[in-house]
Amino acid sequence: MSRRSAGVTARAFDLPKSLRLTLLSGLLICGAAWAARAQDDGEMIVSHGYSFYGDLKYPADFAHYDYVNPDAPKGGEISFARLGTFDSMNPYTIKGRAGTLSWIPYESLLADGPADAYGEAYGLLAESVEYPADKSWVIFHMRPEARFSDGSPVTAHDVVFSHNLLLEQGLPSYAAAVKKRIPEAEVIDDHTVKFYFTEGISRRSLIDQVGGVPVWSQKWYEESGARLDESRLETSPGSGPYMVDTVDVNNRITYKRNPDYWGWDLPVNQGRHNFDTIRIEYFADDAPAFEAFKAGEVTFRTEGDSKKWASNYDFPKVEKGQVIKADLPDGTPPTPSGFVFNLRREIMQDKRVREALALGYNFEWTNESLQYGLFRQRASFTQDTPLMATGVPEGDELALLESLGDVVPAEMLTAEARMPHSSSPDRLNDRRNLRQAMKLLDEAGWPVGDDGKRYNADGEPLTIIFLFNTAAEGTLGSVIESYVKNLVAMGVDAQLEKVDPSQYTLREREFDYDMIYDSYSSFLGAGTGLMQRFGSSEAAFSTFNPAGLASPMIDAIIDAALFADNKTDEDTALRALDRALRHEFFMVPLWYNPSYWVAYYDEYEYPDPLPPLDLGYLDFWWFNAEKAETLKAEGALR
**pLDDT mean over 374-402:** 97
Among 308-312, 472-476, 512-516, where is mean pLDDT lowest?
472-476
The whole-angstrom separation of Cα 333 and Cα 634 is 40
The whole-angstrom separation of Cα 365 and Cα 383 is 22
Q: Which segments of 510-566 does DSSP mark as H helices, in order?
A: 529-534, 552-562
3-state secondary structure of 38: helix
Whether 221 and 165 have beta carbons less than 8 Å apart is answered as: yes
The better pLDDT of the pair 21, 12 is held by 12
**pLDDT mean over 440-467:** 97
Residue 56 backbone phi and psi in degrees, to 5: -130, 135
The whole-angstrom separation of Cα 380 and Cα 371 is 21
Report CA Rg, the chain: 25
603-628 tens-digit pLDDT: 999 999 999 999 999 999 999 999 99
Per-residue pLDDT, 538: 85
Q: Where residue 11 falls among pLDDT bands split at 50, 70, 90?
A: very low
Q: Is the peptide bond before 316 cis (omega within 30 degrees of 0)?
A: no
Percent pLDDT > 70 in the chain is 93
Q: Which of 54, 103, 101 is nearest to 80 (CA)?
A: 101
Q: Where residue 176 falls among pLDDT bands split at 50, 70, 90?
A: confident
Which one-letter DSSP state was computed for residue 407? G
Q: Say if residue 164's pLDDT is above 60.
A: yes
Q: Say if residue 388's pLDDT is above 70.
A: yes
Per-residue pLDDT, 608: 96
Per-residue pLDDT, 32: 29
Q: Which of 356, 358, 376 is nearest to 368 (CA)?
A: 376
- One-letter amino acid identity for 243? M
Strands 515-519 and 463-469 turn out to be parallel
- One-letter amino acid identity for 113? G
Per-residue pLDDT, 42: 60
371-384 tens-digit pLDDT: 999 999 999 999 99
Among 20-34, 116-130, 212-226, 305-319, where is mean pLDDT lowest?
20-34
Q: Which of 18, 13, 9, 8 is nearest to 611 (CA)?
A: 18
Strands 337-341 and 515-519 turn out to be antiparallel
3-state secondary structure of 514: coil
Per-residue pLDDT, 43: 79
Q: Say if residue 367's pLDDT is above 90.
A: yes
**pLDDT mean over 258-275:** 98
What are the DSSP calls for 226-274, one per residue? --TTS--S------SSEEEEEEETTTEEEEEE-TT-TTTTSGGGTT-S-
Per-residue pLDDT, 508: 95
Residue 251 backbone phi and psi in degrees, to 5: -120, -50
In the chain, the domains with their CATH numbers are 11-68+107-224 (3.40.190.10), 337-592 (3.10.105.10)
Q: Say if residue 84's pLDDT is above 80.
A: yes
Per-residue pLDDT, 40: 44
The whole-angstrom separation of Cα 480 and Cα 483 is 5
Per-residue pLDDT, 173: 77
Per-residue pLDDT, 529: 87
294-342 tens-digit pLDDT: 999 999 999 999 999 999 999 999 999 999 999 999 999 999 999 999 9
Per-residue pLDDT, 471: 86
Percent pLDDT > 90 in the chain is 88
The better pLDDT of the pair 555, 22 is held by 555
123-141 tens-digit pLDDT: 999 999 999 999 999 999 9
Enumerate residues 6+ apart whose C-beta is below 8 A from 635: none
